[in-house]
Amino acid sequence: DGGITQSPKYLFRKEGQNVTLSCEQNLNHDAMYWYRQDPGQGLRLIYYSQIVNDFQKGDIAEGYSVSREKKESFPLTVTSAQKNPTAFYLCASSIVDLRGQRNQPQHFGDGTRLSIL
């Protein structure tokens, strides 16, 4: 989906460093999500946001932080408190269907692969 752009594609983190992963979407979606994917495992939810200036913790939020100041942007910061940050990070977005009251499919970005130096 060309509508979701993640950058950078590869990122390296030094000991004690915070790094920020970018996620931008031009699909006019209200909801945005961050997932972590480890080799051979499924997607685990880090944070999600259904509306600007509001976000909720997912299942593995410790060591991560987010902001949602604009509808199209949902950056993820991997802090030094996250002791095992090496993983593939996926950002996704979806429509919030208030009228039909039905969940809509998520659209994913190409991911950022984070490694430790």
Partner 1 sequence: GENVEQHPSTLSVQEGDSAVIKCTYSDSASNYFPWYKQELGKRPQLIIDIRSNVGEKKDQRIAVTLNKTAKHFSLHITETQPEDSAVYFCAASVYNFNKFYFGSGTKLNVKP
Quick one: 10 or 16, whose CB is closer to partner 1?
Answer: 10
Q: Is 12 left (phi over 0), alpha (psi -120 to 50) or beta?
A: beta
Considering only residues 20 through 79, tell me which ones interact with partner 1, judged by CB under 8 A.
Answer: 31, 33, 35, 40-45, 48, 50, 58-59
Quick one: 82 or 94, whose CB is closer to partner 1?
Answer: 94
41 contacts: CB under 8 Å, gap ≥ 6: none
DSSP character at residue 9: S
Quick one: 17 or 53, whose CB is closer to partner 1?
Answer: 53
Quick one: 48 or 74, whose CB is closer to partner 1?
Answer: 48
Q: Cβ distance 66 to 55 under 8 Å?
A: yes
β-strand partners of 87: 114
For residue 58, the minimal CB distance to partner 1 (Å) is: 7
Considering only residues 79 through 108, tell me which ones interact with partner 1, judged by CB under 8 A.
Answer: 90, 94, 96, 101-103, 105-108
Q: How many CB atoms lie within 10 A of CB 77?
A: 14
DSSP character at residue 104: -
The residue ranges that bind partner 1 (CB under 8 A) are 1, 31, 33, 35, 40-45, 48, 50, 58-59, 90, 94, 96, 101-103, 105-111
